[in-house]
Structure 1
Amino acid sequence: MAAIKQLWVKFCVSILYLISLLPFWALYLLSDVIYVILFYLVRYRRQVVHNNLVNSFPEKSLAEISTIEKQYYHYLGDLLVETLKMITISEKSLRKRMQPTNPELVNHYFAQGRSIIAAAGHYCNWELAILGFSLLTTEKRVIVYKPLSNAWVNDYVNQVRARYGAIMVAMKQTLRTFVSYRNDLTFSVLVSDQTPVRHEINYVTTFLNQPTPVFLGIEKLAKMIDAVVIFYKIERVKRGYYRFTMVPLIEQPKQTAEHEITEAHVRFLEQIIRDKPQYWLWSHRRWKYKPEEINA
Structure 2
Amino acid sequence: MHALVFWMVYPVLWIISILPFRLFYAVSDVVYFLVYYVIGYRKKVVADNLKLVFPEKSDKERFHIRKKFYSHMCDMFLEMIKSLSISNRELKKRFVFTNPEEVLRLQENNKSIVLMCGHYASYEWMIALQLYGIKIRAYGVYKKIKNPYFDKLVKGIRSKFNGELIPTSKATMTITKHEKENKRGIYAMIADQSPKMARSKYWADFMNIKVPVFTGSEKLAREFNTAVIYLHVEKVSRGHYVATLINITDNAQEEVPNKITRTYLDLLEEQIRNKPEFYLWTHKRWKHRNTPLPEGAKIID
- Tell me which interval the TM-score lies in, with the shorter structure as reference length: over 0.9
1:234·1:244 contact (CA, 8 Å) conserved in 2?
yes
Aligned to 1:104: 101
2:112·2:185 contact (CA, 8 Å) conserved in 1?
yes
Aligned to 1:116: 113
- With 4-13 and 257-266 compared, the bigger mean Cα shift is at 4-13
Aligned to 1:126: 123
Aligned to 2:251: 252
Aligned to 1:274: 273
Aligned to 2:5: 8
Return the offset for 1:295.
3.2
2:107·2:136 contact (CA, 8 Å) conserved in 1?
no
Mapping of residues 196-235 of structure 1, within 5 Å: 196-235=195-234
Mapping of residues 1-296 of structure 1, within 5 Å: 4-129=1-126, 131-136=127-132, 137-182=134-179, 183-292=182-291, 295=294
SS at match of 1:74: helix
Q: C-alpha offsets along residues 177-200 of structure 1, whole Å, 9 cap, x if unaligned? A: 111111122222111112223322
CA gap of 1:238–1:271, structure 2 versus 1, over 3 A, is same
Return the offset for 1:139.
1.3
1:142·1:187 contact (CA, 8 Å) conserved in 2?
yes
Using the alignment, how far apart are the partners of 1:56 and 1:273 within structure 2? Answer: 10
Return the offset for 1:5.
4.0
Using the alignment, how far apart are the partners of 1:148 and 1:222 within structure 2? Answer: 25
SS at match of 2:282: coil
Using the alignment, how far apart are the partners of 2:135 and 2:199 within structure 1? Answer: 34
CA gap of 1:220–1:148, structure 2 versus 1, over 3 A, is same
2:137·2:186 contact (CA, 8 Å) conserved in 1?
yes
Return the offset for 1:212.
2.1
Using the alignment, how far apart are the partners of 1:88 and 1:61 within structure 2? Answer: 42
1:119·1:192 contact (CA, 8 Å) conserved in 2?
yes
Give me the TM-score of the superposition, normalised by structure 1. Answer: 0.93
Return the offset for 1:85.
0.4
Return the offset for 1:209.
2.4
Runs of 5+ consecutive residues of structure 1 not aligned to the other structure: none
Using the alignment, how far apart are the partners of 1:248 and 1:5 within structure 2? Answer: 42
Give me the TM-score of the superposition, normalised by structure 2. Answer: 0.92
Equivalenced residue count is 292
CA gap of 1:148–1:20, structure 2 versus 1, over 3 A, is same
SS at match of 1:243: strand
Using the alignment, how far apart are the partners of 1:171 and 1:50 within structure 2? Answer: 30
SS at match of 1:292: coil
Aligned to 2:298: none
CA gap of 1:175–1:36, structure 2 versus 1, over 3 A, is same
Runs of 5+ consecutive residues of structure 2 not aligned to the other structure: 296-301
